[in-house]
Amino acid sequence: MSSIQQKSMNAVDLTQKTFFLMSGASRGIGRTMAIECAAKMATGSVIVLIARSTAGLEETKAQILAKNPSNVTVFLLTLDLTRPSADQISSAIFDATLSERNLDEFKLAMIVHNVGSIGDVKRYAKDFSDIDELHDYYAVNVFSVVALNSEFMKRFDVQTRRLIVNITSKCSLVPFKSLTMYCSGKAAREMYFRTLALEEAERDPTLTVLNYAPGPVQTEMTHEIENNAVAFDVRAIFKGLREERTILQPIETTIKFLKVIETGDYVSGAHIDYYDN
């Protein structure tokens, strides 16, 4: 198979009847991506939004239904993903949203792993020693993502076109002072998805994996870095982005994200950054 053929196969059509799951959907990038993706989806699509904030999820749902006039079903799941079991993920997410539905009716199954937290930016790498703190961070940002993804793949097999998106970061590739937990979590998470893509490339042509780095976006996370990072030069970077108005808005990176997945001009497993051509 040629490179051009492989890339074209990765394009997805969001206007089909779709099962769409977005974690971290209560605010910021997750909310905007959920709204804009759902706006394109056909009647009968099922949209599942996961986060810890019920109020935030309700607002995301309201904006989805206001923007998509077709008959889509939106499920809201308020979950703490610190230490979920496979059974909890399976029953709370998939049994609750897919019961009494024939999976063959969905032309596309798409999951976006957007859940994520910055971790403690007030300490250097040498200062992390609390095993419980570390476990809880990686449980949310890595372990739960892997478990959720596994359950998704079990439900939707090779008969359904599938897109798996990991919201990653430049921090998965480049270390930043003050961002020990975030950089290491993003690196581990991205390597999982790159490995998954490699393993499934020949066996499963219906599956595409994308690691999308949205760039520096105006969110609570970037405010936390600017205000509290222990390394003042890192604070200065984010302060400069905000003062120079070069920091991105969620809608800007979402527009780029939609272009990437709809054209499919990448190889499964690739790391695509907002600033890539």
pLDDT in tens, 40-52: 999 999 999 999 8
Strand order across the beta sheet in which 73-78 lies: 73-78, 46-51, 18-23, 108-113, 161-167, 207-213, 271-273
**Structure-model confidence comparison of residues 83 and 200, the more confident one:** 200
What number is the average pLDDT over the span 151-169? 92
pLDDT value at position 4?
44
pTM reported for the whole predicted model: 0.94
Give the whole-angstrom CA distance, residue 215 versus residue 252.
10
CA torsion sign for 267, 275, 253, 220 is positive
pLDDT value at position 89?
80
Contact 269, 197 (CB under 8 A): yes
Give the whole-angstrom CA distance, residue 156 versus residue 145.
17
Q: Which two tokens stand for residue 244?
A: 């120079």
Give the pLDDT band of residue 68 (cuts 50, 70, 90). confident
Residue 215 sits at φ, ψ, to 5 deg, of 85, 180
pLDDT value at position 237?
94
| Helix (H) or strand (E) segment spanning residue 75 | strand 73-78
Give the whole-angstrom CA distance, residue 38 versus residue 15.
9
Give the whole-angstrom CA distance, residue 234 versus residue 239.
9
Q: Which two tokens stand for residue 199?
A: 């393993």
Q: Which two tokens stand for residue 271?
A: 């790391």
CATH code, residues 3-215+250-264: 3.40.50.720
Task: Give the start-to-end residue ranges of the domains of the chain.
Answer: 3-215+250-264
Q: Which two tokens stand for residue 188?
A: 């581990």
Other C-beta atoms closer than 10 Å to the C-beta of 191 total: 13
Ranges 63-72, 176-185, 203-212, 255-264: which has the least confidence: 63-72
| pLDDT surpassing 60 at residue 63 | yes
What number is the average pLDDT over the span 182-198? 98
- CA dihedral (8, 14, 16, 20) in degrees, to 10, reads 120
Q: Which of 121, 115, 110, 109 is nearest to 176 (CA)?
A: 121
| Helix (H) or strand (E) segment spanning residue 111 | strand 108-113
Residue with tokens 């490179």: 3
Percent of the chain clearing pLDDT 70 (strictly above): 96
Alpha helices in 103-249 (DSSP H): 131-138, 144-155, 180-200, 220-228, 232-243
pLDDT value at position 159?
78
Give the whole-angstrom CA distance, residue 70 versus residue 108.
17
Q: What CA–CA distances, in Å, run from 85 to 38, 75, 89, 196? A: 28, 20, 6, 21
